[in-house]
């Protein structure tokens, strides 16, 4: 597997949340292209549950329909506060 530290504006250590699940932060752990494939993937780990990993394509991570970059400063995050972020819109707005 190939590996990279940064790809298309996403870097190891970047923090994302899944749309509709703003209380869970995923941290990019690794960026790679699986052997025999051309599509870049990322390995993400839950910030609040070390060892809970997810592997998705970079395209899915960059899709604003599925994931958004968590721009808050890490030390300013109140894990007890699960209020929605201003830009976290419902998945299927009417």
What pLDDT score does 20 carry? 85
Which range marks the domain in which residue 48 is found? 2-72
List the CATH number of the domain containing 12.
Answer: 2.40.10
* 61 or 9: which leads in pLDDT: 61
Assess if residue 21 is contained within a domain.
yes
Question: Phi, psi at residue 7, to the nearest 5°?
Answer: -155, 125
What pLDDT score does 87 carry? 54
Total tally of structural domains belonging to the chain = 1
pTM check: above 0.95: no
Three-state DSSP at 58 gives helix
Instruction: Give the pLDDT band (50/70/90) at residue 1.
Output: very low
* pLDDT tens digits for range 20-57: 888 899 999 999 999 999 999 999 999 999 999 999 99
Assess if residue 52 is contained within a domain.
yes
Beta bridge partners of 53: 45
Question: Quick one: CA torsion of 8, 28, 24, 75, rounded to 10 degrees?
Answer: -100
CA atoms within 13 A on the CB side of 68: 19
């Amino acid at each position: 597997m190939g590996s990279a530290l940064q790809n298309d504006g996403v870097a190891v250590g970047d923090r994302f949340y899944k749309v509709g699940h703003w209380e869970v932060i995923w941290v990019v752990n690794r960026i790679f292209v699986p052997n025999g494939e051309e599509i870049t993937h990322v390995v993400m780990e839950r910030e609040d549950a070390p060892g809970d990993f997810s592997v998705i394509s970079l395209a899915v991570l960059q899709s604003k329909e599925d994931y958004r970059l968590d721009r808050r400063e890490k030390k300013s995050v109140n894990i007890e506060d699960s209020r929605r972020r201003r830009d976290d819109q419902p998945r299927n707005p009417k």
